[in-house]
A and B are shown apart, each in its own frame.
Chain A
Amino acid sequence: MYSKKVMEHFNHPKNMGKIDCPDGVGKVGNIICGDVMHLYIKVGKNDVIEDIKYETFGCVAAISSSSMITEMVKGKTIVEALKIEKNSIIDSLEGLPKAKIHCSVLAIDALSESIYDYLKKNKRDIPDFLEKRHKIIVKNSR
């Protein structure tokens, strides 16, 4: 049912845990649906994401998607990070079962929420698309 890559990340998740005093936090998901993801980022010079960690309650796909996105994002600038799409997570994981596609979306949402939080905290301009995304995520998580 799950690819080898998914099971690898599930069994040996990368970057799990919490960051003390993070620059941005993204909290998404809904316990009623069975997935909750908290994503923490530390942003350095030139908006580079120097550290990223997560805490996830959820199934195999949710945990491995969280692990994968942190691997993909680490060292990238926030602009680059925001370009990551669900398909690139799915491809990197060598596929996800259809019913689990939403787990990769959840990881993307958590990331963009953490960047949104970072920009907001630092009173920076928030791009329109990110503002829109934020509104949709907040609405859906209710």
Chain B
Amino acid sequence: MKKIYLDYAATTPVDPRVLEAMMPYFCDNFGNTMSLHSFGQKARMALDESRKTVANFIGAKPEEIIFTSSATESNNFALKGIAFANEKKGNHIIISAIEHACIMESAKWLGGRGFKITYVPVDRFGVVNVDDVSKAITKETILISVMHVNNELGSIQPIAEIGQIAKENNIYFHSDCAQSLGKIPVNVNDLNVDLLTASGHKIYGPKGIGILFVKRGVKIEPLLNGGGQELGLRSSTSNVAGAVGFAKALELFNQEEKIAELREYLCSGVLSIPGSRLNSPKTGVPGILNFSFFGVEGEAITMRLDIDGIAVSTGSACSSSKLTASHVLLATGMKPEEAHGSLRVSIGRWTTKEDIDYFIKSLLKNINQLREISPFKNV
């Protein structure tokens, strides 16, 4: 059966060129970067080169890039590391209401340990208002963390402006760029960030590798203590193959990607279905599209599409063990019943027009069938 992957925002396949670059670092150049002998030094060189490539790509210095295991680790590190290193200065942290679970849960965890958390709201397109961030600042504020691109809606946040405000108030600013790196320009200087998270598996690189950019001079406490790898900020034997893969993945982004065109094609196809609506802002990243369909539930659509070989994702309750609708969609003011019927379609490097045609055909068929089952039919 035909298999069509439209869930690039969840994870991407590894680009074969990335895999090829990584291969020598498993069986041949397998050394420990901390070893003095030639095996170790060879690994060390590869790690340093990768760090340079990553740093160049985002406008940072190599010594400001910390390789981690994932965006989740980087986000935990940023929040907890800043909180504990700066608790004498204050105990207040500002995040947006639509952050990824790893920021939400880290903030909640800190909230249970004496830190105060303010959640800044978003508008109906899932965009934070800069003034709301300004107003949330207190004398105790030590960190602001706002994601660059939201993973469910694709909405782009005014990171540079928020960063400017943070700078003026002498507050550290972190941005989770897991969904923006490789899709829109990400430069630490333009974005005014002190800390920045990114992930390998969202950019056609491998899973198990992420980065945290930590601007020189930022006071941060490590989460992992040990042999002092990653400039003493993240001990663990270095994942050299992962770092090489991350760097290679970034190098490949120099090529023009035709995702914006496909977005329009997909969007007009889906919106031709009666009772459908686009939840993503028109100004969002091209690769992420969130739709709602009247009278049908998101998990049901997702699983019907899966039977036809199509992979998409749902932000609705039934996708997880939680029974509440997505916190992101609810934060945009969407009614729970609309949020339950939402579907996230995310396209990427290997999506074709034919894939989209096949998807729309299957979507229409399945929506019609599910509406026949549904008590809510009047579109």
CA distance A133 to B338 in the complex (A): 30
The yes or no answer to B295 lying at the interface (CB within 8 A) is: yes
Q: What are 20 residue pairs bridging A and B, where the CB atoms are less than 8 Å apart in the complex?
A: A7-B307, A10-B300, A10-B303, A11-B307, A16-B372, A31-B340, A34-B297, A34-B318, A34-B337, A35-B297, A36-B376, A56-B373, A57-B295, A57-B297, A58-B300, A58-B318, A59-B299, A59-B317, A61-B318, A99-B322
Quick check: A60 and B299 within 8 Å, CB to CB? yes
Given contacts A56-B374, A57-B376, contact A34 B300 (CB under 8 A): no
| Smallest CB gap from A102: residue in B | B323
Note all chain B residues with C-beta closer than 8 A to A16: 372-373
| Smallest CB gap from A67: residue in B | B373
The yes or no answer to A95 lying at the interface (CB within 8 A) is: no
The yes or no answer to B269 lying at the interface (CB within 8 A) is: no
Note all chain B residues with C-beta closer than 8 A to A54: 373
Given contacts A11-B304, A32-B336, A32-B337, contact A17 B323 (CB under 8 A): no
Contact of B317 among A13, A33, A63 (CB under 8 A): A33
Given contacts A10-B303, A16-B373, A38-B375, contact A60 B318 (CB under 8 A): yes
Note all chain B residues with C-beta closer than 8 A to A32: 336-337
Taking beta carbons and an 8 Å cutoff, which residues of A are in contact with B?
2, 7, 10-11, 13, 16-17, 27, 31-38, 54-63, 98-100, 102
The yes or no answer to B378 lying at the interface (CB within 8 A) is: no
Note all chain A residues with C-beta closer than 8 A to B373: 13, 16, 54-56, 63
Note all chain B residues with C-beta closer than 8 A to A36: 375-376
How many residues from B make CB contacts under 8 Å with A?
A: 24
Note all chain B residues with C-beta closer than 8 A to A7: 303, 307
| Smallest CB gap from A1: residue in B | B303
Quick check: A31 and B295 within 8 Å, CB to CB? no
Taking beta carbons and an 8 Å cutoff, which residues of B are in contact with A?
295-297, 299-300, 303-304, 307, 316-318, 320-323, 325, 336-337, 340, 372-376
Quick check: B296 and A57 within 8 Å, CB to CB? yes
CA distance A34 to B330 in the complex (A): 13
CA distance A76 to B354 in the complex (A): 49
- 4 closest A-B pairs by beta carbon, nearest first, are A59-B318, A55-B375, A59-B299, A34-B340
The distance from the CB of B20 to the nearest CB of chain A, in whole angstroms, is 34
Note all chain B residues with C-beta closer than 8 A to A58: 297, 300, 318
Quick check: B303 and A60 within 8 Å, CB to CB? yes
Contact of B323 among A34, A38, A57 (CB under 8 A): A34
The distance from the CB of A7 to the nearest CB of chain B, in whole angstroms, is 8
Quick check: B321 and A99 within 8 Å, CB to CB? yes
Quick check: B316 and A34 within 8 Å, CB to CB? yes
CA distance A127 to B56 in the complex (A): 76
| Smallest CB gap from A36: residue in B | B375
Contact of B374 among A2, A33, A57, A100 (CB under 8 A): A57
Note all chain A residues with C-beta closer than 8 A to B297: 34-35, 57-59, 62
Quick check: A56 and B375 within 8 Å, CB to CB? yes
| Smallest CB gap from A13: residue in B | B373
CA distance A102 to B321 in the complex (A): 12
Contacts A2-B303, A11-B307, A17-B372 aside, 10 further interface pairs with beta carbons under 8 A come to A10-B303, A16-B373, A31-B336, A34-B316, A34-B317, A34-B337, A55-B375, A56-B374, A59-B300, A99-B320
Quick check: A33 and B375 within 8 Å, CB to CB? no
CA distance A10 to B373 in the complex (A): 10
CA distance A63 to B295 in the complex (A): 13
CA distance A59 to B314 in the complex (A): 11
Note all chain A residues with C-beta closer than 8 A to B340: 31, 34
CA distance A121 to B376 in the complex (A): 25
Note all chain B residues with C-beta closer than 8 A to A56: 373-375
Note all chain B residues with C-beta closer than 8 A to A38: 375
CA distance A62 to B296 in the complex (A): 12
CA distance A27 to B295 in the complex (A): 16
| Smallest CB gap from A59: residue in B | B318
Note all chain A residues with C-beta closer than 8 A to B296: 57
Note all chain B residues with C-beta closer than 8 A to A33: 317, 323, 336
CA distance A99 to B374 in the complex (A): 21
| Smallest CB gap from A58: residue in B | B297
The distance from the CB of B275 to the nearest CB of chain A, in whole angstroms, is 13
| Smallest CB gap from B337: residue in A | A31
Note all chain A residues with C-beta closer than 8 A to B295: 57
Note all chain B residues with C-beta closer than 8 A to A60: 299-300, 303, 318
| Smallest CB gap from B336: residue in A | A32
* From B299, B316, B320, residue with most partner A Cβ within 10 Å: B299
